[in-house]
Structure 1
Amino acid sequence: MKILLIQHLNFLNGSGGTEKICTFLANGFDRFGHEVEIATCQDIEGRPVFPLNAGIKVTNIFSENIPQTRLKPLFNYKGSNPLEWIKYKIRKKAAKKANKEILKKIGGAEGLFKHNLRIRAAAWREYIELQQPDIIITMSVSSVLEITFENEYRIPIINSVNGRPDYDYSDILGYRSPFEMDALKSAYKSLAGIQILFESYRDFLPETFRGKINVISNPVPQFNDNEIVKHEHLKQTYKIINVATLANHCKQQHMAIEAFAAISEKYPAWELHFWGEGKDFNFLNNTIKKLHLQDKIFLNGFTDDPVSKLKESDIFIFPSKYEGFGLALAEGMSLGLPALGFAACSGVNELIKHNVSGFLANDVEELTRYLEQLMEDPNLRSKMGKNGHSEMIGFNPEKILNQWNLFLGECRRLC
């Protein structure tokens, strides 16, 4: 079977959960003997971050033949030179005027969105017709929209949902226009099937979807009992860890900093470590400096070996506002780390069992209290860590791949 995986943005140079799952699926399908290709449409040069099997092709369809109309950027001058301020003010005014003309000609923001999307969708149509895959797997509903806008295919399309479904088509996160939300909902009509991460996520699918639903969780690396963290061992330094993109609006690392800062003086042997990159590095770094905790809280950047960092740690803290699954959290639990998160966070509240494998807090005050309980008690850390390790066995990668392989066959037979 020829399988085409489409992640239209961020696959090149991307190190997030969606990129990791796309790579996992591609490698797994390749091992099953399928012909596999990954396609993206990114106006950049780059490469996949996660290792791919030798036989898997990666294609970036973007070219100068896919022209996009863009508004001129608006810059605010942040310096103190009055002449520079005047220069930037004039440039900003000229850019606003030019943007107004562009939008007037093209039919406003909605017209601009449609115009650019139509050009990209035509390019996708040409590429897909040339490839003639037996099945297409999209890594987001935005990728579904990219390929199906004003297009129809006789090829079955399955969407892999790497978050709670309504995050993908609604305005819950606060940035989508009404037209874009309608277009994304309409894209669900093109799907033969959809994969969701948890049974509860069925309730968050739009009424426009009429295909087959299959609950297939994300894969979690498995470790033998003798490989997990040994909490009974005495150490000179103990580590609380967070592995995630530094994106405060979602990952809320500042809340982990706030919780740890409130009790750090009582526990001189403890440190808080963040692993990951992102746009909020400077904000978090400045927060740490203001608290004078540079010797206790560390922004370590990207790691290509998260398992070794998790094995060095003692508690996994994950204060996200919303998640689909929380891959790094699950990996930490699989390695025997007790986990902390928020009760209202989707995905996190599916993985952490309160008072069993960790704690689910309702606010930062509770998060701080639960964190201190774990820091105080190695026996509690060991008990909860072992419980989490046992629970993650249900997400064995081979089991997940077999479920996917069966799902592909079902969707092909239905179309």
Structure 2
Amino acid sequence: MRVMQIIPELKLAGAQIMMENLANQLASDSYDVLVVSLYSIHTPISDRLEGKGIQICYLDKRDGLDIKVIKKIRECIKKFKPDVIHTHSYVLKYAFEASLGWKCQRIHTVHNIAEKETTHINLLLEKVLSKSKLIKQVAISPLIKKSISEYYGIKESSIPMIYNGIALDKCDKKQDYSLTGDSITIIHIGRFEEQKNHSLIVEAAEILCKKYNTVTFNLWGEGILKEEISEQIDQAGLTDSVILKGTTSDPFSELSRSDIFILPSNWEGMPITLIEAMGTGLPVVVTPVGGIPDMIDDNSSGLYCENDPSDLARKMEMLILDANLRRRLGMAAAEKAKKFSAKVMTNEYVKLYGESR
């Protein structure tokens, strides 16, 4: 089977990492894989894919609507001859037209709640394609499945759901839950955008750091709100405690060096960074939004917090003060992460590819 994965770009973000994990596992299982990136941006993901012998086709897309991309995708299709075209994010509007006349299966993964995933301009196209069964939309969590059904007017029972997965063998699983001296490292990995709620993290850090001067927050990522968050940190006098670290090509190492993982998002699909933290065995504090309740059980494999800085600070303090709680939640999270492996995810997609043919 020949599988073409089409994605806007290969930046370090959840959908891209999920696609990378799927492409790697497909290739390991002896399927032919081609990754098509609309934008020609070379990143650690592209380096890793090419290092494993997976071919990437860059289309040099211009910003905004670029209809020339349709012809470029069609050329890739004619050359690669895919049995399956698997799209992610907004590329569907280009990929579907490019694939007209080509006999193949079209799979589209919805990585976020439907109303956040697409624009009103694309809504009509995707609704028509979904209802006519010209594409098969895949949800990554029960909540996203429900949102697809409501947003596109499709029967929920007809929407397949496949959880995201990671390469669990990359996780450097935590063994020691004691703190190093008095220092406490709290980590967050995610884009600096409204979704990830960094301002709440800074507000909670301000509360916590007044009681514990040895706490360090490492915030990994880039994004349009990074400068605004940096200013908030300066104004709160937290420049020594809340550190903006940029991107990391090795999240597992950073997670293993940390004590607590936090993800107080405003909304989510099924965050890859949370699976990575779980696989590492870190105790986590999360807001129960999107697909997160399907991943974390409150006070069993993590702690839920409200969208409130005082509550986030309180939940982090609970973990700081109780090594047994850190150990219990971290070990339970690591066990639950086994459900979200790249191998399990890939097997489910391969079944879907076969069923759709």
Name the TM tier (shorter chain).
0.7 to 0.9
Q: Deviations over 1:258-312 (max 9, x none)?
A: 1121121211221111111222221111111111111111111112221111111
1:5 paired with 2:16, answer no
How many correspondences in the alignment? 349
Q: Which residue, out of 73, 80, 86, partners 1:124?
A: 73
Q: Which residue, out of 367, 374, 392, partners 2:319?
A: 374
Instruction: Confirm or deny: 8 A CA contact 1:139 1:159 kept in the other structure.
Output: yes
Deviates more, 1:18-27 or 1:45-54: 45-54
After TM superposition, the structure 1 = structure 2 runs for residues 273-288 of structure 1, keeping only pairs within 5 Å, are 273-288=218-233
Q: Which residue, out of 24, 27, 33, partners 1:27?
A: 24
Q: Which residue of 2 aligns with 1:158?
A: 107
1:387 Cα offset (Å): 1.4
Higher Rg: 1
Q: Deviations over 1:107-146 (max 9, x none)?
A: xxxxxx8xx4655434433442443211111122x22221
Structure-2 change in CA distance of 1:297 and 1:224 (3 Å): closer
Report the residue type matching 1:139 in the other structure.
H
Q: Which residue, out of 88, 97, 109, partners 1:139?
A: 88
Q: Secondary structure at the match of 1:332?
A: helix
Structure-2 change in CA distance of 1:117 and 1:276 (3 Å): closer
Q: Which residue, out of 34, 57, 72, partners 1:59?
A: 57
1:353 paired with 2:351, answer no
Report the residue type matching 1:5 in the other structure.
Q
Question: What percent identity do the matched residue pairs reach?
Answer: 23
Q: Distance in 2 between matches of 1:221 and 1:28?
A: 9
After TM superposition, the structure 1 = structure 2 runs for residues 6-405 of structure 1, keeping only pairs within 5 Å, are 6-7=6-7, 9-11=8-10, 14-42=11-39, 44=40, 46=42, 49-50=45-46, 51-52=48-49, 54-62=52-60, 116=65, 118-140=67-89, 142-149=90-97, 152-153=100-101, 154-169=103-118, 176=119, 178-188=120-130, 189=132, 191-205=134-148, 206-207=152-153, 213-222=159-168, 227-247=173-193, 249-343=194-288, 345-364=289-308, 365-405=310-350
Report the residue type matching 1:238 in the other structure.
I
1:198 Cα offset (Å): 2.0
Flag structure 2 segments of 5+ consecutive residues without an equivalent: none
Flag structure 1 segments of 5+ consecutive residues without an equivalent: 71-112, 170-175
Q: Deviations over 1:302-338 (max 9, x none)?
A: 1222111111111111111111111111211222211
Report the residue type matching 2:42 in the other structure.
G
Q: Deviations over 1:185-230 (max 9, x none)?
A: 2343454433321234322222258996332211134369993252
Greater relative contact order (Cα < 8 A, sep 6+) = 2
Instruction: Confirm or deny: 8 A CA contact 1:232 1:379 kept in the other structure.
Output: no
Q: Distance in 1 between matches of 2:279 and 2:298?
A: 16
With the length of structure 2 as denominator, give the TM-score of the two structures.
Answer: 0.88
Pairwise CA RMSD of aligned residues?
Answer: 2.7
Q: Distance in 1 between matches of 2:336 and 2:52?
A: 33
Structure-2 change in CA distance of 1:24 and 1:222 (3 Å): closer
With the length of structure 1 as denominator, give the TM-score of the two structures.
Answer: 0.76
Structure-2 change in CA distance of 1:229 and 1:179 (3 Å): same
Q: Which residue of 2 aligns with 1:79?
A: none
Instruction: Confirm or deny: 8 A CA contact 2:21 2:166 kept in the other structure.
Output: no
Q: Deviations over 1:4-55 (max 9, x none)?
A: 1111x222xx11111112221222111222221111222x453563511543
Structure-2 change in CA distance of 1:225 and 1:23 (3 Å): closer
Structure-2 change in CA distance of 1:335 and 1:146 (3 Å): same
Deviates more, 1:312-321 or 1:201-210: 201-210
1:371 Cα offset (Å): 1.8
Q: Distance in 1 between matches of 2:312 and 2:339?
A: 27
Q: Secondary structure at the match of 2:159?
A: strand
Instruction: Confirm or deny: 8 A CA contact 1:229 1:311 kept in the other structure.
Output: no
Structure-2 change in CA distance of 1:246 and 1:179 (3 Å): closer
Q: Secondary structure at the match of 2:45?
A: coil
Q: Deviations over 1:341-368 (max 9, x none)?
A: 223x212232221121222222313222
Q: Distance in 1 between matches of 2:43 and 2:234?
A: 35
